[in-house]
Amino acid sequence: MNIVEQATKVTKTAAQGLMKKAVELAPDSWIPGGNPDPLIRQQHGHVGKPVSRLDGPVKVRGAAPFAAEFATEGLVYASVAFSTVAKGRIATLDTATAEAAPGVVLVMTYRNAPRLKPMPAFMSAAKAAGGDSLPILQDERIHWNGQPVAVVLADTQEQADHAKSLIHVVYEAEAATTSFEADKARGTEPALFQGELMKVEIGDAETALAAAPHRVDATYRTPRHNHNAIEPHAATVSWNGDELRVHDASQAVVHTAWSLAQVFGLDEKQVHVTSPYVGGGFGSKTLWQHQVLAAAAAKLAGRPVRIALSREGVYRMVGGRSLTEQRVAIGAGDDGHFTAIVHTGVTAMTRHNAMPEPFIVATRSAYAADTFKLDVEVVHLDMLANTFMRAPGEAVGTFALECAIDELADRLGMDPIELRIRNEPDKDPTQGTPFSSRHIVEAYRTGAERFGWHNRAAPGTRREGEWLVGMGCATGTYPYYRMPGGAARITLTRDGRATVAVAAHEMGMGTATVHTQVAAERLGLELDQVTVVYGDSTLPGVVLAGGSQQTASMGAAVIAAQHALVGELLKLAGNDSPLAGLKPAEVGGLDGGLCKLDEPERRESYASILSRAGRDEVTAEAEAPMPLELQHWSMHSHGAMFCEVRVNAVTGETRVSRFLGSFDCGRILNPKTATSQFRGGIIMGLGLALMEETQFDERKGRVMNPSLAEYHLPVHLDVPAIDVIWTDIPDPHTPMGAHGIGEIGITGTGAAVANAVYNATGKRVRDLPLTLDKLL
């Protein structure tokens, strides 16, 4: 983005500031969530029950179809060739041998690819889903090391892969910017995230820091990460005339359909994207070049195409989390009161995406302080576009912030939990808005007792044989989001069954199960009377499975749709019903029908209403209100994370022996699936802490460990039994009183581990991952 574009965005942001102020000052009742969702009061229904996953049986049988598993007549298989230089042009390209190889149907390069528009980059428009905005096989230019340069289609995958190996490319390389340090030395630019400058200045933090009687000031580094969903990105794609059909692995079906329509010059209705099962996403399963390549090749060849990226292919063409270098400095008085918080630093992105890793987001709302200086700067590298990965910003930002707090507590000789509680804010410290729900202190108190925090010894003093043992804690936090565009359709039939349709996604979060529980309770039905359909771009709503917002988005949309449905039913019920004269807001679902909320004996069954009206079914569709609540309140989830590690004094090996996450995330809708989500985030956080790193060759701009053998994930033996508890205090201003919980588990976890390692060894490592060489 150039400086003019940046300035335009900033001006727009200023105009939006007035609107924002008005929303902040509006009475609660004008704001979505101002009147608590009636479901919060109901404590004995389906919500809150540990229901096993409804899609469990098909998954354990291996009968759930994923994107690369849709059989189609005449299918051909794709194989992708990747560039081996970071910048330059293709000088010679010899595809003749490949074209003549057995089974080959097409070799597509920039010479014969159809003319395509670039993908709209994620966050450049409401429904933009593209990982980058670069030309796709449109010219001989190379923009990153690993860029697709050719696609082979053949009758079998073996034939396609072999033919790809016969393509001969000679590059004319140009000087590329691939070194973070070198580019940083040339100067950085301010980061814009979601149209907002990643900069906060309140008071004079540097002066306050210099004057503080106690301070810490250190630099923390986090490397690149890859999502590594076990299902590699894949799509099965076909054309029917001008209609494009995509069986995708997607956490953004509507965004993907719209974005593909822009690329191919179609109406978004001409693109149909479905994704009933997704083998893990974590931010990566959006639109990348492979779906475009498959669709273009399918068009050119006139055949349906299966593109299933190799694991290396995922590393070459699907971006991950970028690296960060963060300074955190905190000044404190003798009583531990924060006089200054400085959190600044640099991350790398590209010129073709809009995603600076926003590592200060958590710091904006975490602690009270007299002064703040927060700033994210970026450098632009010639590399594969980085992207969102589980808790973008918070996962790595809380590592730096929460380690710094631990260091300060150590310096003050104060318990780190007490230091945090002492700086607990009574309103959002940088926005000034009230918190909608914040019970982190309670989560700490309960967690500390359960974990046995009082047993923590002085750093480096507890040893069992070869093993040094230590405990650490940290705060995890993630915002409550609800994005615009939520919508839902409810169809109720005379036999008392309901189908709830939302273009949402099930990647393992438990969406289908939990929203069946929620809808059943709202409608007054049993679980087996409700079907939730999702994963289809033709369904209502623009619902990203990202930002931990899907539950909120679906929750608000279903509230709106149910309201509309009740309105329809009351009309149908007419004057002969016990419900006659009631308004939709006075009515709720109960025992297979509607009743007056505060007078449940005034009730009529759905079957009775529909029979009398001579109707087989009734359908209502509605959109959720704009998410103004996000500006009216400061809305966040929290977790108190406790870790015990054992560090081998001889080898430096770190083993996590115990972990507890004590969460404050509103009302928990399903304890079984919620526990898995919390643990899943924590386990990815253990990986971030101890082993994960996408190794990037700064000379060549190439990822050097594009494999699950060389990028280390936590395996079974690395994962202890993880204890998870929660406050279960509903947020009065959210649908169901709930918060999304997909991302919070990874936040704070890295710092909890690093703080425990410090407590065990007396060594402070500020450079992730905490591998054994750093402890020797």
Partner 1 sequence: MSIMINGAAMSLPEDPRVSLLDLLREHHHLTGTKKGCNQGACGACTVLVDGERIVSCLALAMQYEGRAVTTIEGLADGNELHPLQQAFIEHDGFQCGYCTPGQICSAVGMAAELKRGAPSNVTGDLSADTIAFSRDELAERMSGNLCRCGAHNGIIDAIGATFAARPEVAA
Cα gap 750→225, rounded to integer Å? 13
Q: Does 508 bind partner 1 (CB under 8 A)?
A: yes
Q: Does 56 bind partner 1 (CB under 8 A)?
A: yes
Q: Does 73 bind partner 1 (CB under 8 A)?
A: no
* Residue ranges in 548-607 that form contacts with partner 1 under rule CB under 8 A: none
Q: Does 55 bind partner 1 (CB under 8 A)?
A: yes
Site string for partner 1, 468-507 (x = CB under 8 A): ---------------------------------------x
Q: Does 717 bind partner 1 (CB under 8 A)?
A: yes
Query: Which region among 8-16, 254-262, 380-388, 712-720 touches partner 1 (by CB under 8 A)?
Result: 712-720
Cα gap 444→734, rounded to integer Å? 23
Would you say 228 or 436 has its CB closer to partner 1?
228
Q: Determine the size of the site formed for partner 1 (CB under 8 A).
A: 63
Q: Does 709 bind partner 1 (CB under 8 A)?
A: yes
How far, in Å, are 281, 295, 550 from residue 107 at the CA level?
A: 30, 14, 40
Q: Are 569 and 618 in contact (CB under 8 A)?
A: yes
Query: Which region among 48-56, 563-571, 628-636, 726-734 touches partner 1 (by CB under 8 A)?
Result: 48-56
| 710 given a catalytic annotation | no
Cα gap 438→305, rounded to integer Å? 50
Cα gap 342→347, rounded to integer Å? 16
* Residue ranges in 618-637 that form contacts with partner 1 under rule CB under 8 A: none
Find the shortest distance in angstroms from Cβ 232 to partner 1. 7
Query: Which region among 127-135, 154-162, 253-261, 443-451 touches partner 1 (by CB under 8 A)?
Result: 154-162
Cα gap 183→198, rounded to integer Å? 20
Among 143, 227, 255, 321, binds partner 1 (CB under 8 A): 227
* Residue ranges in 734-773 that form contacts with partner 1 under rule CB under 8 A: 745
Considering the candidates 394, 407, 629, 743, report the single residue annotated as catalytic: 743
Q: Are strands 271-274 and 243-248 parallel, antiparallel or unpaired?
A: parallel
Among 152, 163, 308, 523, binds partner 1 (CB under 8 A): 308
Q: Does 230 bind partner 1 (CB under 8 A)?
A: yes
Would you say 672 or 774 has its CB closer to partner 1?
672
Q: C-alpha angle 22/24/27, rounded to 5°?
A: 90
Among 8, 11, 92, 156, binds partner 1 (CB under 8 A): 156
Please give the structure tokens belonging to residue 569: 């039913």
Adjacency order of strands within the sheet including 467-479: 463-464, 467-479, 636-648, 654-664, 722-726
Query: Which region among 273-281, 571-579, 630-638, 749-757 touches partner 1 (by CB under 8 A)?
Result: 273-281
Q: Does 713 bind partner 1 (CB under 8 A)?
A: yes
Find the shortest distance in angstroms from Cβ 639 to partner 1. 15
Find the shortest distance in angstroms from Cβ 683 to partner 1. 4
* Residue ranges in 281-300 that form contacts with partner 1 under rule CB under 8 A: 282
Query: Which region among 58-66, 570-578, 607-615, 759-767 touches partner 1 (by CB under 8 A)?
Result: 58-66
Q: Does 68 bind partner 1 (CB under 8 A)?
A: yes
Find the shortest distance in angstroms from Cβ 587 to partner 1. 36
Among 320, 680, 730, 735, binds partner 1 (CB under 8 A): 680
Would you say 348 or 684 has its CB closer to partner 1?
684
DSSP 262-281: HHHT--GGGEEEE-S--S--
Nearest to 701 by CA among 388, 385, 381: 381
Among 223, 232, 429, 496, binds partner 1 (CB under 8 A): 232
Find the shortest distance in angstroms from Cβ 234 to partner 1. 9
Q: Does 676 bind partner 1 (CB under 8 A)?
A: yes
Q: Does 66 bind partner 1 (CB under 8 A)?
A: yes
Cis peptide before 584 (omega within 30 of 0): no
- Which one-letter DSSP state was computed for residue 485? T
How far, in Å, are 78, 102, 169, 690 from residue 166 at the CA level?
A: 15, 12, 10, 40
Would you say 27 or 62 has its CB closer to partner 1?
62
Residue type present at position 656: V
Q: Are strands 324-332 and 214-222 parallel, antiparallel or unpaired?
A: antiparallel
Which H or E run contains 570? Answer: helix 550-573
Residue type present at position 603: R
Please give the structure tokens belonging to residue 583: 């308004």
Please give the structure tokens belonging to residue 76: 């051909």
Among 69, 196, 204, 217, binds partner 1 (CB under 8 A): 69
Q: Does 280 bind partner 1 (CB under 8 A)?
A: yes
Q: Quick one: how far is CA 299 from the chain centroid?
A: 32
Q: Does 653 bind partner 1 (CB under 8 A)?
A: no
Nearest to 361 by CA among 636, 90, 94: 636
* Residue ranges in 309-328 that form contacts with partner 1 under rule CB under 8 A: 310-311
Backbone angles phi, psi at 604, to 5 degrees: -140, 140
3-class DSSP assignment, residue 606: helix
- Which one-letter DSSP state was computed for residue 153? E
Would you say 220 or 277 has its CB closer to partner 1?
277
How far, in Å, are 647, 673, 714 from residue 721 at the CA level?
A: 18, 16, 13
Q: Does 719 bind partner 1 (CB under 8 A)?
A: yes
Q: Does 24 bind partner 1 (CB under 8 A)?
A: no
Q: Which residues pair with 235 in a beta bridge?
A: 248, 307
Beta strands in 110-230 (DSSP E): 141-142, 148-154, 168-173, 189-190, 192-193, 196-197, 199-202, 214-222
Which H or E run contains 491? Answer: strand 487-493
Q: Does 231 bind partner 1 (CB under 8 A)?
A: yes
Find the shortest distance in angstroms from Cβ 620 to partner 1. 32
Work out the burial of residue 625: count CB atoms within 10 Å of its CB; fewer than 13 is exposed, 13-18 middle, 19 or more buried.
middle
Q: Does 71 bind partner 1 (CB under 8 A)?
A: yes
Q: Mention every residue, 6+ apart, whose C-beta is less than 8 A from residue 386.
A: 224, 319, 320, 321, 322, 348, 349, 350, 353, 355, 357
Would you say 683 or 757 has its CB closer to partner 1?
683
Query: Which region among 303-311, 337-345, 476-484, 588-596 touches partner 1 (by CB under 8 A)?
Result: 303-311
Would you say 101 or 490 has its CB closer to partner 1?
101
Find the shortest distance in angstroms from Cβ 378 to partner 1. 28
Among 438, 515, 679, 702, binds partner 1 (CB under 8 A): 679
Q: Are 292 and 119 in contact (CB under 8 A)?
A: yes
- Which one-letter DSSP state was computed for residue 231? S
Cα gap 473→628, rounded to integer Å? 34
Would you say 590 or 722 has its CB closer to partner 1?
722
Q: Does 725 bind partner 1 (CB under 8 A)?
A: no
Q: Does 332 bind partner 1 (CB under 8 A)?
A: no
Q: Which residues bind partner 1 (CB under 8 A)?
A: 52-53, 55-66, 68-69, 71, 156-158, 162, 227-232, 277-280, 282, 308, 310-311, 507-510, 672-673, 675-677, 679-684, 707-709, 713-719, 721-722, 745
Residues forming the active site:
743
